[in-house]
């Protein structure tokens, strides 16, 4: 589930930057920026992954107050929040990546 | 609005409508509204960054085509979870798969025809130079 893990990590990054809630396009853009990808995650792939994460209890979602999109003349956003479980999953992944990276670096530096 | 961008938006909305037909209203309306919001945000963001309408349209089209297998899987999983797989929904899924192939074929046709036009233009330019040299 690399995309699901990437979404949790990106959501944790957004939270640290002060954004507790995010919408689908926002997370697609954050994922694209993080991986330097030229193309954003496909619609089907992204929304299926968000739904799966919600079912797993790693994300929660709600529709924003309908008055806001009406005032701003745009479609309503489905807002997602990282749950405590999602935050823990992102932290676990971060720790595992940090633990793996010095080992990988040491392997690279080891004489042949 | 640029016709290519208009077509890309219509195609994404049309495809979303098609693969959600006959689904549970909650899942169906949620998916349609989320895709519509994504299209709007993407268009506005790209416009703010002065992206060309053609570029935005192609990006939307690639996002659509690349996500088609997941769209169909999502529909299947949703119906399986709700235990509502019926003869009708099987036909709907088969129809959606057929339409997906149709979209992919259209995309391949337009991509290859535009490539062929470019290649022809290169050859014509080269032939023209050759004729002038003679």
pLDDT digits (tens, 9 = 90+) for B70-124: 999 999 888 888 776 566 666 676 777 777 777 777 776 666 666 666 666 666 7
Tell me how far apart the alpha carbons of residues B24 and B26 are, in angstroms, rounded to a whole number. 6
- Packing angle, helices A43-55 and A24-35, rounded to 10: 110
Range of the domain at B121: 3-133
**ipTM exceeding the 0.95 mark:** no
Residue A79's DSSP bridge partners are A62
Residue A21's DSSP bridge partners are A81
Interface A-B, measured as beta-carbon pairs within 8 A, has a size of 77
Position B70 scores a pLDDT of 93
Average of per-residue pLDDT values in chain A: 88
pLDDT tens digit sequence for B8-44: 999 999 999 999 998 989 999 999 999 999 999 999 9
Q: Which distant-in-sequence residues (6+ apart) come within 8 Å of A1 by Cβ?
A: A52
Residue B68 with chain A: CB contacts under 8 Å: 44
Is pLDDT larger for residue A70 or for residue B2? A70
Tell me how far apart the alpha carbons of residues B11 and B19 are, in angstroms, rounded to a whole number. 12
Number of domains present in the structure of chain B:
1
B127 pLDDT band, cuts 50/70/90, is: low
- Tell me the backbone φ, ψ of residue B22, rounded to 5 degrees: 80, 5
- pTM of the predicted structure, to 2 decimals: 0.76
Q: Please tell me if residue A46 touches chain B, with a CB cutoff of 8 Å.
A: yes
DSSP string over A1-60: -HHHHHHHHHHHHHHHTT--EE-HHHHHHHHHHHHT-SSPPPHHHHHHHHHHHHHTTSEE
Query: Does residue B63 carry a pLDDT above 90?
Result: yes
CB contact under 8 A, A74 and B33: no
Position B123 scores a pLDDT of 62
Q: Please tell me if residue A35 touches chain B, with a CB cutoff of 8 Å.
A: no
């Amino acid at each position: 589930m690399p995309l699901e893990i990437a979404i949790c990590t990106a959501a944790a990054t957004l939270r640290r930057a002060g954004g507790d809630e995010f919408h689908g396009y926002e997370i697609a853009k954050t994922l694209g920026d993080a991986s330097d990808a030229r193309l954003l995650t496909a619609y089907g792939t992204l929304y299926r992954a968000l739904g799966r994460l919600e079912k797993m209890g790693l994300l929660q979602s709600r529709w924003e107050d309908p008055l806001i999109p009406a005032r701003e003349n745009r479609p309503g956003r489905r807002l997602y929040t990282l749950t405590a479980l999602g935050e823990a999953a992102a932290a676990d992944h971060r720790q595992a990546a940090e633990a793996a990276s010095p080992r990988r670096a040491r392997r690279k530096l080891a004489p042949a | 609005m640029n016709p290519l961008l208009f077509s890309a938006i219509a195609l994404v909305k049309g495809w979303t409508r098609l693969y959600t037909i006959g689904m549970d209203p909650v899942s169906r309306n949620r998916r349609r509204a989320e895709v519509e919001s994504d299209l709007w945000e993407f268009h506005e963001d790209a416009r703010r960054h002065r992206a060309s309408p053609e570029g935005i349209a192609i990006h939307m089209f690639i996002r659509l085509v690349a996500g088609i297998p997941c769209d169909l899987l999502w529909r299947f999983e949703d119906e399986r979870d709700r235990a509502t797989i019926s003869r009708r929904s099987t036909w709907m899924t088969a129809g959606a798969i057929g339409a997906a192939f149709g979209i992919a074929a259209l995309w391949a046709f337009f991509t290859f025809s535009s490539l062929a036009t470019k290649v022809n233009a290169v050859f014509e330019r080269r032939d023209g130079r050759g004729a002038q040299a003679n």
